[in-house]
Structure formats: C-alpha cells, structure tokens
Amino acid sequence: MPRTPLVSVLAALLLTSACAGSPDPGGPQPAPAPPAGSTVAGPTADLGAMSGIDLVFLSTMVGHSERTLQIVRSSRDRVRDDALRTLAAAIEATEADELVAMRGWLPTTGPGASAAAHHHEGHGDDAALDRLRNAPAPDVDRVLREVLADHQRSAADLARAQVDVGRNERVRDLARRIEQSRTAEVDLLRGTP
C-alpha cells in the first residue's frame, strides 16, 4: 500500500519525537481537562504524562479531522446515494466529537504548545478537496468515496504508527480506536458500488 508524502513525513516525526521523550525536561506538564460529554475524554491524570510524540500525533490528528470535516461538508448537499450520505454523516459526527476532545488535550501554552500549533493545510490533499468541490453532479458520489477513502487511510496509517511508538496510554487508546474506525470506513467506502 503506497504511503502519501504526509504519512511518510509524519511517521518520521512521530519516530523522531519518540526518541525525544517528555517535552519538559523538568517533568510532564498537566494537560487541560478534556471537554465534558466527550466520548474520548477520560481522567485527566491519564493525560498528564504526554511526550512530544503524543503531542505531535494529537496536533496532526486535529488537522486531519478538520480536513475530514471540510471534505464531508463540502459535498453534503450534493451526495445522491443514501448509504454514502449516512456514512458521511456518521464520519462527521465521530470526528467532530474526537476533534473537541483532542483540542482539549493539547496544551495552549508552555512546553509542547508548538507541536499543538500544527495545521493540516497544504499537505497535498488540497487538490483532492478541489477535485471534490469541482466534481460534476453525476460524479460526486464516486469522487467523495475516492477522496475520503484515501484521506481516512492516511489517518489509519498515522494512528497505527502512534500505537507502535506513543508514550501516553490514553492517547495510544485513542489511536487504536482511530485506526480501527478509519480502516472500517475505508472498507465501507471502497465496498460501496
């Protein structure tokens, strides 16, 4: 399975950050409490020992989820297939919820805040989003399946790498769930006629 340039760069960053250890040599900084009602939120004590690798993963996934929301929202009113519309709505709900939680876990000041400032813009999928936005009406469903499947496969690859090298068990648990859900979504997107 070929990797996109974004996945290759981020995998290298994740591996490099894993060697760097805690972002604060004086000890881990407590992370902000996750938002109330979030399905991925948990005890803040589990979030206190985040390493650079965990921060890079979370900030990257924040950008990735923001782009996912752009993708599904840009085609929401143009999708013709009911099953695809339902799947896209489920993806939107899941990622919006995860996005709120991940943003709550990221520091806004102090050590690690620079990792949290990562943005997903310009990582090579701008052309895919433009392709979807400019797709003629009869092609929207097919193009959405292709664009979203590639995008979600990248998320699964990133999450799989985090599970292997991440330090914080709470973040690794999130990565496991992201890897499983995005892999299932790709299967559904590619299996839909």
The per-residue pLDDT string of the chain (193 residues; one tens digit each, 9 = 90 and over) reads 444 444 444 444 443 333 333 333 333 333 334 433 344 444 443 456 789 999 999 999 999 999 999 999 999 999 999 999 999 999 999 999 999 999 999 987 555 555 555 554 444 568 999 999 999 999 999 999 999 999 999 999 999 999 999 999 999 999 999 999 999 999 999 985 4
Q: Could you state, in order of their start, the residue ranges of all structural domains in the chain?
A: 52-190
User: Helices 140-165 and 5-20 meet at what angle, rounded to 10?
Assistant: 20
Question: Is-above-0.75 flag for pTM?
Answer: no
**Residues listed for the chain:** 193
CATH number for the 52-190 domain, one of 3.10.110.10, 1.20.1260.10, 3.30.450.20, 3.40.190.10? 1.20.1260.10
Q: How far apart are CA 107 and CA 113, in angstroms?
A: 5
CB burial string 45-69: b at 16+ within 10 A, e below: ebbebbbbbbbbbbbbbbbbbbbbe
